[in-house]
Amino acid sequence: MTTKARAVTDILQPRNVLLVGMLAIGLAAAGDWTGLPWGLLAAVCAGLIPAGYIEWERKRGTWGDRHVVDRTKRAPIFFVILGSIGTGSVIMLLGNAPTGILVTMLALWAMTVLLLAVNTVWKISVDSAVASAVVALLAVVHSPWWLLGYAMTTAVCWSRVALNHHTLAQTIAGVTLGAATATAFLFA
- Give the pLDDT score at 186: 67
pLDDT at 16: 97
**Which pLDDT value is given to residue 73?**
83
C-alpha pair distances (Å), 20 with each of 25, 37, 57, 73: 9, 12, 25, 28
Q: Are 116 and 41 in contact (CB under 8 A)?
A: no
Which residues, other chains included, contact 148 with Cβ-Cβ below 8 Å and sequence gap of 6+?
none
Task: Give the separation between CA 138 and CA 155, rounded to whole angstroms.
Answer: 18
**pLDDT at residue 31 in the model:** 93
Residues of the chain with pLDDT under 70: 186-188
Number of structural domains (the chain) is 1
Rounded Cα distance between 80 and 83, Å, is 5
- Structural domain boundaries, residue 143: 2-186
Residue 72: the pLDDT is 82
3-17 pLDDT tens trace? 999 999 999 999 999
| Whether 108 contacts 46, CB under 8 Å | yes
pTM above 0.85, yes or no: yes
How far from the centroid of its chain's Cα atoms is residue 129's Cα? 6
In total, the chain counts a number of residues equal to 188
Tens of pLDDT, residues 146-176 = 999 999 999 999 999 999 999 999 999 999 9
pLDDT at 188: 63
